Amino acid sequence: MGHPAHHHTINYIEFAAHDIARAKEFYATVFGWKFQDYGPDYASFSAAEAGVDGGFYKIAPHDPPPTPAPLVVLYSADLKATEAAIVASGGAIVAPTFEFPGGRRFHFADGVGNVLAVWSE
């Protein structure tokens, strides 16, 4: 199951965008990235064009960009074990595990000012 060679490596980066269509147009035009839409509020890009897999998620026009941004997403072959290790080491879960197309993930604070996410199938 999963990708053992990628366990606990940076696997995905998410950027906030007020306008997903504009973000796609900009990065496609300037950098040649291609996108896969997952509804009106999310579009992903691939490492083939961008160097790392990632995506843009929609935020409301009046919302400021999240802090810190972008969201770095790590991969785990064992999501529950990674979550337990984070908590045991003084980290805090800031978004409990939830499902999305392709897997499950949670967000955590590392105790030194960073919020990251961890995902698995």
Residue 65: the pLDDT is 65
Place of tokens 């337990």: 84
Report yes or no: 36 and 55 within 8 Å, Cβ to Cβ: no
Residue 66: the pLDDT is 67
List strands edge to edge, sheet with 10-17. 35-37, 42-45, 54-58, 10-17, 71-75, 115-120, 103-109, 92-100
Query: Greater confidence, 94 or 31?
Result: 94
Q: Where are the domains of the chain?
A: 4-120
- Read off the pLDDT of residues 27-52 as tens digits, 9 standing for 90 and up: 999 779 999 999 999 999 999 999 89
> Sign of the CA dihedral 89, 95, 47, 3?
positive
Residue 1: the pLDDT is 52
The pTM of the full predicted model, rounded to 2 decimals, is: 0.75
CATH architecture of 4-120: Roll (3.10)
Q: Annotate 26-36 with b (16+ C-beta within 10 A) or e (fewer).
A: ebeeeeebebe
